[in-house]
Amino acid sequence: MDIQWNILAEYAPFFLKGTLLTIGLSLAGIALGTVLGLFIGLGKMLKNRFLSLPFGIYITFFRGTPMLVQIMLIHFAVVPLFTGETNAVAAAILTLSLNSAAYIAEIFRAGIQSIDKGQMEASRSLGMTHVQAMRYVILPQAFKRMIPPLGNEFIVLIKESSLASLVAAPELMYWGRAMQGQYFRVWEPYITAALIYLVLTLSLSFVLSRLERRLATE
């Protein structure tokens, strides 16, 4: 396992570009997935069963099928259906967002439902409307409880962005595979990619644990 540093040096700029795209895909996936997830989570909590049904089906589909299948479908079928051509980066962002939204929706719902119902009753007994009680009392507490599971989901999302390499989006894993293809070496590209992913996920956990501590009462 003698590491060939020279080919690593040659590929360094590509790994850098790839890492930036990985970060971009992940951030876009987190942002869009969170917004969509909140919306779907609220939808699933609707009391009317017919209205909440589509949201339930959405979650079932995206949680119940492999992300690899989803990215293939979206890349080769869905995106071309709308734009007439394939676009790997768009497909990757779309897949990551749609997939994580399903999980985030459930995290959001669980967070809200974990808040003691006495909190809503106390708020309402003071004359607050349902929306005010949600906004000032329930959601701030639910959000705090949602940080650890959200952190998990974001970490999964960073790692799963590597699937984008299979539709040739030039992110980190794509360049790792390219390096393997060019030099028939496996240790150098994949250990490098693994370490970079580790740095990304560790940075994210660090940010989230800081946030959690800042929101702590006492």
- Do 14 and 175 touch, CB atoms closer than 8 A? yes
Footprint of other proteins on residues 40-69 (CB under 8 A)? none
Q: How many alpha carbons fall within 13 Å on the CB side of residue 216?
A: 9
Q: For other proteins, which stretch binds (CB under 8 A), given 37-45, 58-66, 87-95, 126-134?
A: 126-134
The rounded distance, in Å, linking the Cα atoms of 138 and 153 is 22
Residue that has been written with the tokens 């734009």 in this structure: 83
Binding mask 145-184 for other proteins (x = CB under 8 A): ----------------------------------------
Comparison of 108 and 197: residue with beta carbon closer to other proteins? 108
Shortest distance, position 212 Cβ to other proteins, whole Å: 13
Q: Which of 13, 54, 140, 181 binds other proteins (CB under 8 A)?
A: 140
Shortest distance, position 93 Cβ to other proteins, whole Å: 34
Listed residue (156, 136, 130, 119) closest to 45, CA to CA: 130
Q: Which of 98, 137, 150, 169 binds other proteins (CB under 8 A)?
A: 137
Shortest distance, position 215 Cβ to other proteins, whole Å: 8
Listed residue (181, 184, 165) closest to 173, CA to CA: 165
Binding mask 90-119 for other proteins (x = CB under 8 A): --------------------------x-xx
Number of residues that bind other proteins (CB under 8 A): 21
Q: Which residues contact 214 (CB under 8 A, 6 or more apart)?
A: none
Q: Which of 144, 159, 177, 185 binds other proteins (CB under 8 A)?
A: 144
Residue that has been written with the tokens 């979206």 in this structure: 74
The rounded distance, in Å, linking the Cα atoms of 74 and 68 is 10
